[in-house]
Amino acid sequence: MAENTSPAITMTCEVCSEYYTDPLMLPCLHSFCKKCLIKAKEKQGSADTSLKCPTCDTSVNLPDGKIKGLTQNLWFAHKSKEASIKKKILSKEAISCDECDDSSDAAVVYCCDCGQFLCDLCKKVHKRNKKKANHKLIGLETKESVKLPTIKHEEGYCDRHTDQKLIYYCHDCEKLVCPNCLPIKHKDHNIEDYIDVGETARKALKESVASCDGVIPPVTEAIANGEKMLEQIATRKEEVRQEIKETFEKLKAALDKRCNDLLMETEEIARAKRNSVEKQLDGFCKLVKQVSHGRYLASSVSERTDPGEVLSVKKLITNQLEECIEEYKKLPLEIEDKKVVLACLNTAAISDEIRKFGSIFEADPASYSIDSGLAIPLATVKKERKFKVSLPAGIDKAASYLKGSFIKSDGSKEEGRVVIVNDKNTAIVSCTPQSIGGYELSVTIRGHHIKGSPYQLSVKASRDYTTLTNQRSFYVGSGTACVAVHTNGEVYASSYDDGFVQVFSED
């Protein structure tokens, strides 16, 4: 995500993909051939006086509405020219002579001073010319890599006085001028030797580089922090999602259990009701059977002609029937259990609760802070030390989000005991180191340290309190219950309410 490296500078124009010719630099620091920008401008239309950078699309205001007014990039111009000449020298293709009009003969040398390729004949002429005899010539047959000496660039010469080098800088006109132009066009102007101006410009650029160095590291660090933050956001989101899912799984399980309980209760009530009704029906059935049977016997025996037969069973039958009729009279024929089973499922209230159940909010770890106990970074082995953490207002069970760790600073896994107790607007972090050495107490919310955390403290061996010979009670500060002076000059003060002991050394 972070883009810290700039692409290497190439000497080819991004529009025509060739070495720059007459490169111009736009305010966005992208350079293009003059001809390419003119074409680009034509394509974009001449209605307004701005030009869109072909690379970054930044709109550039053209001075006087003309491409010509843009900044000439001599640096790229020279480097491109050098690169293209070098490429030509190293290429295996024949190069025509720049001096001869018919260009029939291939060039054999390159003159670094004239910036020209020369054929064998022109080379000889060159050498016989007094002025040019010292020119540096590079033979084209040596196709190995060549180190080009400084090439004479035309731009270094005056347009009007072509043999005059531009060796002055006019601060008023902001351009290089030749000695001949000085008295004519730049009279009374602020003129300086171009070498000095160049040196100043070089220094200024170096300072700019240095000032960039002050910008990049902190911004890079900020980017790194931001990226870390993005990771943390993703991690925290996952954690919170997990927590929500787990909580609702539990709620669903509780709901399922309640559902089953109610179903079972319904089953039981129904079974009991069925049993009682069935019991009643059993009674009815038994009675009907007995009555039917008795009635049948009575009716059958009453048809018999033999009085002996009739008399033999009459008593039992009548007894039985009378008993049955008696029972029938006592028996309520109405079914006893007339109650109906109902379920009370008042969803309105719980639905409302469910709708409002849970909330997602942001808490600033900095709104939690370890408030007391930080003054003296000392502790004693196996002795509890307490820290008060003030909690932000408006967060329900704010302390429940706190996580504490109390570990040895030396990287060993050894842990001290740490307990966090919620106490209305404060939480108490209680630590008990298990051995001598440096400890680090961390109190965090979802991995973020709260104010005052992490806290380093060094754990000493248990003090010999029996040497507290000089125990006297005197007033040291409000809330101080007891003060004792150790033989080594340390003063111990304990407070009434919270079990804090403060140690003051002699000074």
Nearer CB in complex with Zn ion: 27/479: 27
Binding to Zn ion by residue 70, rule CB under 5 A?
A: no
DSSP annotation of 19: B
Nearest distance in Å: CB 16, Zn ion: 3
Cα→Cα distances 365→44, 240, 337, 479, Å: 54, 16, 64, 30
Nearest distance in Å: CB 123, Zn ion: 8
Distance between CA atoms of residues 415 and 92, nearest Å: 76
Binding to Zn ion by residue 122, rule CB under 5 A?
A: yes
Six-digit token string for 335: 């079914």
The footprint of Zn ion on residues 35-54 (CB under 5 A) is 36, 53
* Residues 6 or more apart whose Cβ sits within 8 Å of residue 2: 220, 223, 224, 227
Q: What angle do CA 368, 370, 371 make, to 5 degrees?
A: 110
DSSP annotation of 6: P
Binding to Zn ion by residue 13, rule CB under 5 A?
A: yes
Distance from the Cα of residue 235 to its chain's centroid: 9
The footprint of Zn ion on residues 478-497 (CB under 5 A) is none
Binding to Zn ion by residue 125, rule CB under 5 A?
A: no
Binding to Zn ion by residue 176, rule CB under 5 A?
A: no
Residue type, 418: V
Nearest distance in Å: CB 32, Zn ion: 6
Nearest distance in Å: CB 28, Zn ion: 3
Q: Can you tell me which of 22, 82, 113, 384 binds Zn ion, judged by CB under 5 A?
A: 113
Distance between CA atoms of residues 51 and 28, nearest Å: 12
Stretch that binds Zn ion, among 126-134, 243-251, 354-362, 371-379 (CB under 5 A): 126-134
Nearest distance in Å: CB 175, Zn ion: 7
Residue with tokens 């956001």: 233
Distance between CA atoms of residues 465 and 225, nearest Å: 48
Nearest distance in Å: CB 161, Zn ion: 4
Nearest distance in Å: CB 118, Zn ion: 6
Nearer CB in complex with Zn ion: 182/428: 182
Nearest distance in Å: CB 178, Zn ion: 3
Distance between CA atoms of residues 60 and 278, nearest Å: 99
Binding to Zn ion by residue 158, rule CB under 5 A?
A: yes
Contact mark string toward Zn ion, 405..444, x via CB under 5 A: ----------------------------------------
Binding to Zn ion by residue 95, rule CB under 5 A?
A: no
**What DSSP assignment string belongs to 319-383?**
HHHHHHHHHHHHS--S-S----------HHHHHHHHHH--------GGGSEEEES-S--EEETT-
Name the site residues for Zn ion (rule: CB under 5 A): 13, 15-16, 28, 30, 33, 36, 53, 55-56, 58, 97, 99-100, 111, 113-114, 119, 122, 132, 135, 158, 160-161, 170, 172-173, 178, 180-181, 186, 189
